[in-house]
Structure 1
Amino acid sequence: MAKALIFAGGTGRRMNSCSKPKQFLEMHGKPIIIYTLEHFEYHEEIDGIVIVCIKEWIEELKGLLNRYGITKVLNIVSGGDTGHDSIYYGLEEMRKFCSKDDIVLIHDGVRPLINEELISKNIEAVKRYGNAITAEPVRESVIRCEDKKSITDVPPRDQMFVAKAPQSFHFGEIFKLYEMAREDGWKTIDSSHLCSLYKVPMHMVMSTKNNIKITEPADFYIYRAIYEAMENQQIFGV
């Protein structure tokens, strides 16, 4: 079995939402965080979920879990100042529920367009290779610039991918890395970045299409359009 660590600690400043953090914004009357959680709630290989949330919104989240029948949540903990800190606090809480060999899928609360197959592929990859980093090919050329002025080089596009989520590991391995980073004073963008810093070999799992992270207002409208298109396809077969 496996467990999920969902981090939803962001305040959503880039969403320009004065009333709610981005993970609590609603689409068709349901908060984004619930759409995300449902994928893990309904997956037969996931037997527990820990959520990292903004402290002031934990009670609101508890109410939503009851309302929407999310039963696998083991605990909710407060987030940190950065995404890196939030993941560390979540992993620290998971020590209560995980052995070192348990599989943990780390996922953004505002990345709701995943599916059962992607979760299964992550779990299988960890069993076979030790970890799994969800990724998708870039659609445009990537440039590298070291001074924010001059282009250093343009890597071949067919070798370039974008790291997504879930990012999945054996609990003992990933918690050890976050503890090392804490001692070394490093703050990372995500778990794949942390693995790269410590030269940990990583296995890539190809992402589902449209695995977007809802960060800015345009992302929300793109998500809504994609979701409605998917719903219409199921209903009308188009």
Structure 2
Amino acid sequence: MSAVYAVVFADGAAFEDAGGGLPVVFRDLGGVPVVVRTVRQLLAHPEVVRVVVTCPPAAADRLAAVLRDGDLDGPVTTVVAPVASDEAIHDGLAALQDIAAEDDVVLIHDAARPLIDQALITANIAAAREHAAAVTVGPATEGVARVVGDAVVQVHPTDGEMLVLKAPQTFRYGVVWDLYTWAHDSVGVHSTSPAHLCRYSGVKPRAVRGSTANIRITDDVDLEVGAVLLAAAGADVAGGRA
């Protein structure tokens, strides 16, 4: 059976002060820093053997401290990477070069999504093993418009086919490493989403529908909503702990 790894990243905004004097990934959710909850939840899955966490240089010391104090039940590697999310994902994948096989599975997950549940992790792993690529999606509850200047040039209604990309996005290691190596070496190709890079390669990810509780924490309101969701879900979205 192929091994399973996870690369946890966050965009630059998640490492900036979101109020309260701390970047959002270091803010407490139910008494535990957001990034620690995220890593705990991944390590709680019986198939995940290692988590790689990337961060910009300015946050490296704080990240090391919160992970060290986070009572984590498995191996974690930290990688200092550029602020740009695509570069951070590339560098996180590079940290697995010497240990991951081509057919091993890598979950690429957002540090600011700590409420991922075990069922979603399992479904992503299964889909990536079978189809090489899997993308978590959720319902688009409102229509989406493409606007150029002040002109609406395209409208997508909520028709059941239009879904929102979320995380994790999960791949066989060889597939996603090839995507990011190509993007890293190409001029003008940048994306925080591996699924976006798939459009250039012919890789067709499998859609995995996730829980509405798998929200992205970006501000104080999200933290309040997250606390309610955490209390309702219990240990399943707390790395096996309340």
TM-score normalized with structure 1 length: 0.88
The answer to whether residue 201 in structure 2 is matched with residue 195 in structure 1 is: no
Shift, 1:199, TM fit: 3.4
Question: Match for residue 70 of structure 1?
Answer: 72
Shift, 1:52, TM fit: 0.4
Q: SS of 1:205's equivalent?
A: strand
Q: SS of 1:97's equivalent?
A: coil
Task: Give the whole-Å Cα distance in 2 for the aligned partners of 1:26 and 1:126.
Answer: 32
Residue segments in structure 1 that go unaligned for 5+ positions in a row: 233-238
- Residue type at the aligned position of 2:229: I
Distance 1:82 1:18, change over 3 A: farther
Matches within 5 A, 1:177-192: 177-185=179-187, 186-192=189-195
Q: SS of 1:94's equivalent?
A: coil
Matches within 5 A, 1:41-60: 41-60=43-62
Q: Percent identity?
A: 28
Question: Match for residue 112 of structure 2?
Answer: 110
216, 220, 225: which is aligned to 1:222?
A: 225
CA contact (8 A) 1:142 1:154 kept: yes
CA contact (8 A) 1:8 1:51 kept: no
CA contact (8 A) 2:112 2:217 kept: yes
Question: Match for residue 164 of structure 1?
Answer: 166
Residue segments in structure 2 that go unaligned for 5+ positions in a row: 236-242
Q: CA RMSD in A?
A: 2.1
* 1:73-117 deviation line (CA, Å, top 9, x unaligned): 342111213111110110111112211111000001110111111
* 1:13-54 deviation line (CA, Å, top 9, x unaligned): 775336322111112321011111111111101011111023
CA contact (8 A) 2:108 2:169 kept: yes
Shift, 1:149, TM fit: 1.7
Task: Give the whole-Å Cα distance in 1 for the aligned partners of 2:62 and 2:83.
Answer: 20
Question: Match for residue 95 of structure 1?
Answer: 97
**Number of equivalenced pairs:** 231
Distance 1:68 1:74, change over 3 A: closer
Matches within 5 A, 1:203-218: 203-218=206-221
Task: Give the whole-Å Cα distance in 2 for the aligned partners of 1:177 and 1:224.
Answer: 36
Shift, 1:205, TM fit: 0.3
Task: Give the whole-Å Cα distance in 2 for the aligned partners of 1:122 and 1:10.
Answer: 26
Question: Match for residue 150 of structure 1?
Answer: 151
Task: Give the whole-Å Cα distance in 1 for the aligned partners of 2:18 and 2:70.
Answer: 27
Distance 1:140 1:15, change over 3 A: farther
Question: Match for residue 177 of structure 2?
Answer: 175
* 1:155-178 deviation line (CA, Å, top 9, x unaligned): 242210000000000111111111
Moved more, 162-171 or 18-27: 18-27
Task: Give the whole-Å Cα distance in 2 for the aligned partners of 1:215 and 1:29.
Answer: 17
Distance 1:111 1:64, change over 3 A: same
Question: Match for residue 239 of structure 2?
Answer: none
CA contact (8 A) 1:14 1:215 kept: no
- Residue type at the aligned position of 2:23: P
CA contact (8 A) 2:134 2:170 kept: yes
Indicate the structure with greater helix content. 1
Distance 1:11 1:153, change over 3 A: closer
